[in-house]
Amino acid sequence: MNQNIIIRNISVVDKHASSDKTYDIYIRDGKIQKVGIAPEDDSALVIDGTGLTAFPSFFDMHVHFRDPGFTHKEDILTGAAAAAAGGVTGVLCMPNTNPPVDNEETINYIKDKAAQTGIDIYQTACITKGMAGGELADFEMYKRLGIVAVSDDGKPVKNAELMRRGLINADKYGLLLTSHCEDMDIIGKGIMNKGAVSEKLGVPGMDRASEDSITVREMALAGAAGVPVHIAHVSTEGSIGFIRDAKKRGLKVTCETAPHYFIFTDEKLLARDADFRMNPPLREKRDVEAITEAVIDGTIDCIVTDHAPHAANEKADFEKAPNGVVGLETSFAATVTYLYHTGKITLERISELMSENPRKLLGLEPVYIREGSTADICIADLNREWTVDPEKLHSKSHNTLFKGVTLKGKPVITISKGKIIYSETK
């Protein structure tokens, strides 16, 4: 049984709460029972919320926990610990594990291990069998086993007709289809954004047309069929422009981005550090500005991390290293630092992007700081400055591109279903 909790004198991020007031939050039986003045309860744990802010806990709909098959990088338990430290109580894992997530045995393995964590772990399954791009997987089985989304994440489905049928099938079974929009033929041997920096470094680049072209294809296929499509980790000015236009035309398209795409440019790679390599890659200043504007104007629906752990020895060689960065423990702090403290977006918008919208897109019940809601709460110190130390991360891998960066804002307590799953002292 969960202990009753009273959080006193805390600011609350909720559409129905006043930003210039503080509240008590009373939690009992895993639910928020009162927002206002808490009743007397001598058995309750009391948390002093003075100077702190309560958010509905975050949901990251794009993570890689590498389990099964690559657990030297991360596993479900360490991934969940990293999530909790970032104020995240729900995640959607990608299916590019070993074996890929396309069969009942693997799905049940993940579900059983996920039940050992203190967070909600949902699983994406493959669009095609084995992620091989040859034939569609069994979507009916996915639905029966509780799968909420499908993707061949890491690459798109190359065959357009197969993708079209995948989109229609996903809609039939109520699964969100997410596309990783990069044409692998255009990318070739590229390891970073193609441009002045890649030329200066003398390494093969990844042309932005790889992302833009597949983004347009997926929206055209979905639009013709009248079904939804979700575009993963948008990074280019072109892609977000196409998505904005498609939304204006009424297409059922949604999209996500990650903090590094509205913060960093490919100039970070001049130091030849593979911790700044990911797919899609860091782009140029105009792309950063375009992604930022799309977060502000509502074109982008969600902020995710694409949390992609790799071991230190795998990241040692700049040109041979696999692409990917961890992000669960820095996503909220980076967003607050670069978008809220700079006056670009509100705390309410951050809550939409990182909590409400991801859950809604997946057909899950959103959480709020309201009476009757599940007590999934991130308590954050918005003014806490801290410098990211990779060795102190809870993830099994430490390949963060925020290493050494001082951020302003940090989750200090995470509550999942009324239970404290992460806490740190100031």
Tens-place pLDDT, residues 16-66: 888 789 999 999 999 999 999 999 999 999 999 999 999 999 999 999 999
Tens-place pLDDT, residues 358-382: 999 999 999 999 999 999 999 999 9
Shared domain for 211 and 275, answered yes or no, is yes
Shared domain for 195 and 251, answered yes or no, is yes
- 301 three-state secondary structure: coil
Shared domain for 111 and 50, answered yes or no, is no
Shared domain for 287 and 416, answered yes or no, is no
Domain range for 209 is: 56-361
Shared domain for 75 and 16, answered yes or no, is no
Q: Which segments of 258-307 are extended strands (E)?
A: 302-303
Residue 373 CB neighbour total at 10 angstroms: 17
Q: Which helix (H) or strand (E) holds 410?
A: strand 406-416
Task: Check if 306 is active-site.
Answer: yes
DSSP secondary structure, 345-411, as one string: S-HHHHHIIIIIHHHHHTTPPP--SSTTSB--EEEEEEEEEEE--GGG-SSS----TTTT-EEEEEE
Q: 294 in a domain, yes or no?
A: yes
Q: 366 in a domain, yes or no?
A: no
Asked which of 307, 342, 361 is the last residue of a domain, the reply is 361
What are the phi and psi torsion angles at 89 (to 5°)? -115, 5
Q: Which of 340, 335, 275, 265 is nearest to 305 (CA)?
A: 335
Residue 170 CB neighbour total at 10 angstroms: 26
Catalytic residue among 152, 301, 306, 381: 306
Q: What is the pLDDT of residue 1?
A: 64
Shared domain for 133 and 187, answered yes or no, is yes
Q: Could you give the CA distance from residue 296 to residue 346 in angstroms, rounded to a whole number?
A: 9
Classify strands 205-206 and 23-28 as parallel, antiparallel or unpaired: unpaired
pTM, two decimals, is: 0.98
Q: Which helix (H) or strand (E) holds 286?
A: helix 285-297
Contact, 63 vs 92, CB < 8 A?
yes
Classify strands 406-416 and 419-423 as parallel, antiparallel or unpaired: antiparallel
Tens-place pLDDT, residues 327-340: 999 999 999 999 99
Residue 406, classified by CB atoms within 10 Å of its CB into exposed (0-12), middle (13-18) or buried (19+), is exposed
CA triple 363-31-18, angle to 5 deg? 85
Q: Could you give the CA distance from residue 89 to residue 377 in angstroms, rounded to a whole number?
A: 8
> Is the per-residue pLDDT at 142 higher than 80?
yes
Shared domain for 338 and 396, answered yes or no, is no
Token pair 């989109």 is found at: 167
Residues making up the chain, counted from first to last: 426
Q: 147 in a domain, yes or no?
A: yes
Q: What is the pLDDT of residue 15?
A: 83
Q: Could you give the CA distance from residue 220 to residue 336 in angstroms, rounded to a whole number?
A: 34
Shared domain for 264 and 125, answered yes or no, is yes
Mean pLDDT in residue range 123-135: 98
Shared domain for 331 and 257, answered yes or no, is yes
Q: What is the pLDDT of residue 19?
A: 77
Q: Could you give the CA distance from residue 276 to residue 274 in angstroms, rounded to a whole number?
A: 5
Contact, 194 vs 205, CB < 8 A?
yes
Q: Could you give the CA distance from residue 281 to residue 277 in angstroms, rounded to a whole number?
A: 6
pLDDT > 70 in the chain, percent: 99
How many structural domains compose the chain?
2
Q: Could you give the CA distance from residue 371 to residue 350 in angstroms, rounded to a whole number?
A: 21
What are the phi and psi torsion angles at 98 (to 5°)? -135, 105
